[in-house]
Every structure is written in C-alpha cells, then in structure tokens.
C-alpha cells in the first residue's frame, strides 16, 4: 500500500464529517444539530483536524465560520470521500432491517486495514505492512464486518478473498482514500510545494514519445512528484484506474468511454504496415493490402483499436483478418519484425526513430481505416490532483 498522507494517516472520519457540516451550515452549533451531537463535540473534531494539518480551516467571526482556502479544498475532498464511503453502505437491508454503517462508524484505521488485507491477502502480511499486531488486524476486520452486517472476505486455505460485498466496499474505500490523498497534495500546493504521487498507465503501441516528453516536463518543473508508470492490457489498466490504482490511462481511445470514465483525445494516429529494412516486399510495385493476406502477420490483440483498424482495412479489399501471431509487447514485436519477414500494422509516429535510422520501413500499401485517436482517460467526477493537472498540461504540449 502507498505511503499514507497525513490526512489519511490520522484524520478520523468524524472529523471529516464535522468539517463538512460546519462548511455547509456556517457554524458548529448548526452543524451539531445536523449531525445529532453536541456543539462541543463538533468544535473539538474540527480543532483536531486543524491541529493535524497545522493550519486553520475556518475563519471564526461573529456571524459564524467560513472556510479558508485550505478549508475549501479539505471540505471538497472530504465531501467526496464521505460520498464514496456512503456508497459502501448501499445495498439491501441486512437481516432484521439493519443497513450497513461503515460510512458513519468506521475508523480510518479500520479502512487502512481493509485495503491492506485486500492487497496482501492475509492478516499476517497486512499487519507487517501496517506495523501493527495481527490480533489488531483481526479485531479491525471483525469490527468492519459487524458494521457491514456480513462477511467482507472468504477465508480460504490460500488466504483471504473478498466477497461480492467486500469487493464493493474495498473499491469505494480506495476511491475515498484517493480523494483524501488529493486533498493533502492540494494543501502542499497552497504552501508553495508540489508534492504527491502520480501513477500513469500506458498502453502498448500507442503511448510512444508523448508520455516520455510529458514526464520530462513534469520532472523538470517539480522534482517532488513521485512518478510511477505501469503498462499492461487495456482491461487491466482500466480496472486499476477505476480502483484509484493509477491516476490516468494514456493510449488508444475506445469508441465510447467506459462507464465511470472520461476520454480526452490528443491526436489521431494513422497506422501503416511496417516491416524490417530490406524486406523483399519493399521491392514490389502496385502492392495491395489483399496481396499480403498469406504473409506472416503480427496481429494486434482482439478488441484493441489497432485490431479493429486492421479488420476494416482488409474488409475494404474483401478479405478477413489474416492468420498470425498475437503479441502485446512492443519490444517482442519489434524483435520479431527485425529478425524475420513478418508484417505488422503499427503507428509510424511511435516508430519514428526506428524508421529514421533505417531499422524499419513502411510497406507502400494503402491502409484504409477509421481514425485511431490517442488520448488519456481519467475517472469521471474526480477533480485532478495538482500533479495530474500538470501532467495533463504536459501531455497536451507534447501532443502538439
């Protein structure tokens, strides 16, 4: 699990609820009536949060309390985090009509334990990561399951596996933690620093030079941002994006944005048939794509936009997609092209260096396909962290 930010480490959910209520109601007394508790309890919860952060979140006056610039950011992130925790309680009423109470009563420590158990699959390993005892982890899980009204993990010989309810709760808790992490990074920005984490997912054959150029710009401007880049299949990276494992996914966009995400195009990336330099087919004249049907092809993975483009191109000449080997690794694909007579449909933009240096060549054959858009995908409704906003700006500049 990532290093927890100060808000996430120590802030209690009741402090976040108190700050949000005060911002909405304008005073601790009014907030106390909404939260069904005493005014001193609300005042103490807000003071504890301010002491933790080392700065005032509210301006106190005769007319009530008004959020400071820091308070606005904390309240906005806290509100969204609490909304995610409330969704963890969604679902049918438990036996006896009682609904889950995770959002109202779970502690931050219990939520940390839940994520550690999901990531490491055992109480022992979770305890080691969190630096607490295994009995403490066991107790926190038991308390959470009591609040949920049902088991959150199946106990197997191989370890713990989330139940359907557990998987739902874990996803929402991760998203809540992402909001609080973002809030902590925004507070750092207010202090004149840009600190935090930026996790980028990249798709094979489509991120190319855009991501490295954008990263160079980010690192040159702010060395305090911890950057990690993960590549993988679209399905795997999309799952990580939805669970806040990564902040942004860069690569070929789909026809429609998957549910819960927003796609932003950067540029169209035409594809061409690429071969090794000196390939015998480079000497042919009046070559048509259909002529290559019986050749050795390296194929994009099914479902990828490049595979759709290849199918469109062959269909335009009355043929189906040829047989071939499917490869999802750019390194392996280039090695096979350079060492054989295989053909591949690839982006000339992504391979510009190899083509300029004469390692690869573009086969002079017309490829008819719909535009393939390269862009980035983010979670819908998630306000970008300062680091993510900077990276998006750098992406736009690199794409231009």
Q: Report d(CA 14, CA 109) in Å as an integer.
A: 13
Alpha carbon distances (Å) from 131 to 50, 122, 125: 26, 14, 10
**Whether residue 131 sits in one domain with residue 24:** yes
- 182 occurs within a structural domain: no
- 131 occurs within a structural domain: yes
**Whether residue 378 sits in one domain with residue 355:** no
Q: Report d(CA 230, CA 237) in Å as an integer.
A: 8
Q: Report d(CA 362, CA 287) in Å as an integer.
A: 12
What domain range is 121 assigned to? Answer: 6-172
- 177 occurs within a structural domain: no
Using the structure block, give the residue that is written with the tokens 């055992």.
122
**Whether residue 117 sits in one domain with residue 49:** yes
Q: Counting Cβ atoms within 10 Å, is residue 92 exposed (0-12), middle (13-18) or buried (19+)?
A: exposed
**Whether residue 291 sits in one domain with residue 260:** no
Q: What's the pLDDT score for residue 145?
A: 93
Q: What's the pLDDT score for residue 9?
A: 45
**Whether residue 234 sits in one domain with residue 324:** no
**Whether residue 301 sits in one domain with residue 251:** no
Domain with residue 79: its CATH number is 1.10.10.10
Q: What's the pLDDT score for residue 337?
A: 94
**Whether residue 207 sits in one domain with residue 221:** yes
Q: Report d(CA 253, CA 239) in Å as an integer.
A: 15
Q: What's the pLDDT score for residue 91?
A: 54
Q: How many residues does the chain have?
A: 400
Q: Please, are residues 322 and 297 in contact by the beta-carbon 8 Å criterion?
A: yes
- 180 occurs within a structural domain: no
Q: Please, are residues 353 and 347 in contact by the beta-carbon 8 Å criterion?
A: no
**Whether residue 75 sits in one domain with residue 133:** yes
Closest CA to 141 of 95, 49, 120, 7: 120
- In this structure, the dihedral spanned by the alpha carbons of residues 236, 237, 242 and 244, taken in order and rounded to 10 degrees, is 120
Q: Report d(CA 154, CA 269) in Å as an integer.
A: 46
Q: Report d(CA 155, CA 374) in Å as an integer.
A: 43
Mean pLDDT by runs of 10 across the 400 residues of the chain is 43 86 96 94 93 91 93 94 88 54 83 93 94 94 92 93 93 92 89 86 82 90 88 92 95 92 93 94 90 93 90 93 90 91 90 90 91 93 92 91
Q: Please, are residues 1 and 42 in contact by the beta-carbon 8 Å criterion?
A: no
- 185 occurs within a structural domain: no
Q: Report d(CA 270, CA 373) in Å as an integer.
A: 9
**Whether residue 280 sits in one domain with residue 379:** no
User: In the chain, how many domains are there?
Assistant: 3
Domain with residue 238: its CATH number is 3.40.190.10
Per-residue tokens: 349 = 């933009």
HEC profile for the chain? CCCCCHHHHHCCHHHHHHHHHHHHHCCHHHHHHHHCCCHHHHHHHHHHHHHHHCCCCEEEECCEEEECHHHHHHHHHHHHHHHHHHHHCCCCCCHHHCCCCHHHHCCHHHHHHHHHHHHHCCHHHHHHHHCCCHHHHHHHHHHHHHHHCCCCEEEECCEEEECHHHHHHHHHHHHHHHHHHHHHHHHHHHCCCCCEEEEEEECCCCCCCHHHHHHHHHHHHCCCEEEEEEECCHHHHHHHHHCCCCCEEEEECCCCCCCCEEEEEEEECCEEEEEECCCHHHHCCCCCHHHHCCCCEEECCCCCHHHHHHHHHHHCCCCCCCCEEECCCHHHHHHHHHCCCCEEEEECCCCHHHHHCCCEEECCCCCCCCCCEEEEEEECCCCCCHHHHHHHHHHHHHHC
Q: What's the pLDDT score for residue 92?
A: 47
Cα 260-262-265 angle, rounded to 5 deg: 155
Model pTM score? 0.84
- 184 occurs within a structural domain: no
**Whether residue 112 sits in one domain with residue 66:** yes
Q: Report d(CA 393, CA 335) in Å as an integer.
A: 34
- 183 occurs within a structural domain: no
- 117 occurs within a structural domain: yes
Q: Please, are residues 210 and 250 in contact by the beta-carbon 8 Å criterion?
A: yes
**Whether residue 164 sits in one domain with residue 29:** yes
Q: What's the pLDDT score for residue 234?
A: 92
**Whether residue 86 sits in one domain with residue 155:** yes
The strand pairing partners of 64, in sequence order, are 61
């Amino acid at each position: 699990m990532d290093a927890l930010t100060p808000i996430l480490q120590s802030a209690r959910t009741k402090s976040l609820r108190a700050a949000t209520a005060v911002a909405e109601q304008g005073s601790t007394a009014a907030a106390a009536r909404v939260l069904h508790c005493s005014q001193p309890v609300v005042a103490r919860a807000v003071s504890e949060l301010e002491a933790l952060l080392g700065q005032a979140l509210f301006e106190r006056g005769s007319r009530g309390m008004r959020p400071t610039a820091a308070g606005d950011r904390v309240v906005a992130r806290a509100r969204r985090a609490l909304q995610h925790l409330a969704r963890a309680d969604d679902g049918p009423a438990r036996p006896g009509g009682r609904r889950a109470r995770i959002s109202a009563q779970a502690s931050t420590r219990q939520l940390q334990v839940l994520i550690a158990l999901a990531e490491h699959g055992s109480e022992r390993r979770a305890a080691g990561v969190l630096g607490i005892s295994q009995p403490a982890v066991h107790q926190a899980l038991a308390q959470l399951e009591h609040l949920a009204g049902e088991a959150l993990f199946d106990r197997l010989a191989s370890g713990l596996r989330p139940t359907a309810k557990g998987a739902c709760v874990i996803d929402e808790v991760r998203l809540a933690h992402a909001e609080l992490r973002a809030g902590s990074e925004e507070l750092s920005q207010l202090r004149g620093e840009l600190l935090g984490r930026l996790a980028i997912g990249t798709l094979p054959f489509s991120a190319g030079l855009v991501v490295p150029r954008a990263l160079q710009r980010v690192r040159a401007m702010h060395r305090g941002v911890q950057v990690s880049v993960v590549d993988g299949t679209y399905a795997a990276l999309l799952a990580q994006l939805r669970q806040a494992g990564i902040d942004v996914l860069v690569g070929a966009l789909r026809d429609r944005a998957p549910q819960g995400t927003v796609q932003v195009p950067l540029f169209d990336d035409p594809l061409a048939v690429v071969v090794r330099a000196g390939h015998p087919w480079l000497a042919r004249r009046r070559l048509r794509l259909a002529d290559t049907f019986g050749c050795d092809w390296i194929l994009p993975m099914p479902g990828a936009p490049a595979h759709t483009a290849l199918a469109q191109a062959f269909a335009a000449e009355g043929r189906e997609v040829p047989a071939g080997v499917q490869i999802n690794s750019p390194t392996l694909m280039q090695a096979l092209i350079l060492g054989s007579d295989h053909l591949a449909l690839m982006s000339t933009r992504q391979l510009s260096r190899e083509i300029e240096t004469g390692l690869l060549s573009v086969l002079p054959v017309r490829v008819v396909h719909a535009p393939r858009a390269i862009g980035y995908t983010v979670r819908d409704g998630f306000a970008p962290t300062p680091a993510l906003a900077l990276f998006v700006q750098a992406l736009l500049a690199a794409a231009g």
